A and B are shown apart, each in its own frame.
Chain A
Amino acid sequence: MQEGRALSPTQVNRDLLRSILESPKWFWVAVGLLAILVLAAFSAAGLLVNKGMGVTGMNRPVMWGFFITNFVFWIGISHAGVMLSAILRLSKAEWRRPATRAAEVLTVFSLMTAMLMPVVHTGRPWRTVYWIYTLPFVPFDYARGIWPNIRSPLVWDPSAVYTYLTSSVLFVMVALIPDFAVLRDRTTGMSHQIYSVLAMGWRGNARQWKFQIIAGVLLSALILPVFVSVHSIVSWDFGMAVAVKTWHSTIFAPYFVVGAVHSGVSAVAFVMIILRYIYSWQDYIRHEHIDALGRLLMVVATAWFYFFVMEIVFGFYGREADEIAVRELQFTQYPYNVLMVIFAGVTYFLPMALWLNRATRRNLWLMSTACISVNIGMWLERYLIIVPGLANKGVFTFTWASYTPSLVEVTIITGTFGMVSMLMLLFSRVLPLIPLYDIKEGEVLKTEVQIGRRTVPATFRED
């Protein structure tokens, strides 16, 4: 799979560092517009802290709404980083090269954004300091010496997410060292000094490259189990809750993990298409890469659909009254029934119809549509798990209620999308979103072999 032309190291530097060394005119306008969304979200969060949770649409029994939906959504997006970077690195998939950095950075920013959601959701953010339980000198309650209850999944959750976040940040930083050195060699003044410090004296000798490559493989192998644990543990926030019938399911962990990969890889494919368009990286992010992502997504989407169907089938099969009541809410009552149809259509049927065709997979507009469609659907999926599950009519009629998100919640949620987009753009302004050395290594290993009367592009692979 090598459709691109040969690229010299000088050209790779010039093309991939263009976003850093030459700021395009639209850049700060785009950052400014996204910053307005972020500012609006922080203002809304400030209002929430000042006035209390009454400014949201949450009330008994629906105490988890847009914030937790959005938390699970961004955790899901974060799974793209490991999926693409670690699995493809371990399997030595050649087409990973332009995708790994963007995927890893998207992981970091989406995890950071995800962790803001429960903090905002508490309504008393300063009380969430107890989540930093790994520091023995920061107990939950200073006065009484009370520690977080490790028997609660709500404590497992931050421990897993912070492990994943720390690991992802370190993973990105280690892989950036050679690129810091390239930037050190091409900048002057203050920028040169900053990149010199970050490059840590990198020279690119055989020993340093050897450990850079081992680090990539070793860290991939170590982060992979963490990646699986993170969304499993997020699913246990729901699965361990005995009181909510549709949540108390053993299938939730693999269902959530595969769903996260589905939305995360779709998000990476979309980000790559955007990067190709705004930075004119046609030689690096090629149709073959998007095609490969499309084929991967077909497998992931089908696995996800299998778990989705199983979850519903077993829900109905048990014929437990509480379970049937929630399913009835999801499938027969407005607005959940309409949302359920939209969700199934945009998460699986529409994108699959597009991905089945090679020409469609290579059409960037249609691939963008499919990827956005998946993520709209995956956001709805989390909403349809959380809200109908809690809105189910219980024993006491005074808890019968539904949920309508308030303007404050909508503003905060919109702001999180603005924040991730803004952070990705700002990152591309200071650091390359495609790893230079990875592309150059691909060029070094690229060759051609003669098979009969045909010359076929090939790649050397070292075991």
Chain B
Amino acid sequence: MAIRPILGLYETADGAADAGDALKAANVDPRSFDFLTDAPYPEGAFGERPEPHRLYLFPLLGAIVGLTIGILLTSMTQMAYPLVQGGKPILSLPPMAVITYESTMLSAIVFTIIGVVFESRLPRVKVGLYDTRITEGYIGVLVNVEEDQLSNVSNVLSGAGAVDIIQDNSRS
């Protein structure tokens, strides 16, 4: 059976949290519903499930890549044209450290951005079921359920005080 989205809109965080509790009580899988807000709320404010992630690996991986590139770039370019200046060694460590430091940091930052976008599950080609009132302060409870459970979930969302319930961009 096809999975269909349904969105309940709430005026307050308490209402949205109550809806989450009611959905769990109605045996709706916590992985199948989500809370949409226009501002970050403290983690767990709606009783939502914890989100495991591996974001911290991205800057580490980026730093290793940047460090490697920095060392290779600074050593290979100098070896390619070995011109002695002021009696200093061709592979002089202090200047190599400066360039390598910058390449390490740059790569770590770029990889962090990639990690943030990846872990946020962006970009999404289509926003999906959504309501512009969410960016006006309403809190959306988005549930993805099998088609035959839609009316049941709609009742649960209404019972928790939803001001509006939307299915496939058509309000019920």
Contact = CB atoms under 8 A, between A and B. Distances in A.
Contact of B95 (A13, A150, A167, A215): A150
A211 interface: yes
A120 B107 CA distance: 29
B60 to A, nearest CB: 11
Contact of B116 (A151, A166, A174, A445): A174
- Chain A residues touching B, majority SS: helix
Interface residues of A, number: 67
Interface stretch (B37-45, B151-159, B164-172): B37-45
Interface string B138-165: 0000100000000000000000000000
B109 A223 contact: yes
Interface in B46-89: 46, 48, 51, 53, 55-56, 59, 73-74, 77-78, 80-81, 83, 85, 88
Contacts of A213: 40
B59 A222 contact: yes
A149 to B, nearest CB: 8
A444 B109 contact: no
Contacts of A136: 73
Contacts of B36: 203-205
Interface of A: 8-10, 13, 133-134, 136, 145-152, 155-156, 159-160, 162-163, 166-167, 170-171, 173-174, 177-178, 181-182, 185-186, 196, 200-215, 218-219, 222-223, 225-226, 229, 233, 436-437, 440-441, 443-445, 460, 462
Interface of B: 13, 34-43, 46, 48, 51, 53, 55-56, 59, 73-74, 77-78, 80-81, 83, 85, 88, 92, 95-96, 98-99, 101-103, 105-106, 108-110, 112-113, 116-117, 119-128, 130, 132, 134-137, 142
Given A167-B105, A213-B40, A229-B98, 16 more contacts: A9-B135, A151-B88, A156-B98, A163-B109, A171-B109, A182-B38, A200-B124, A201-B122, A204-B36, A208-B120, A210-B40, A211-B120, A218-B55, A222-B59, A225-B105, A226-B109
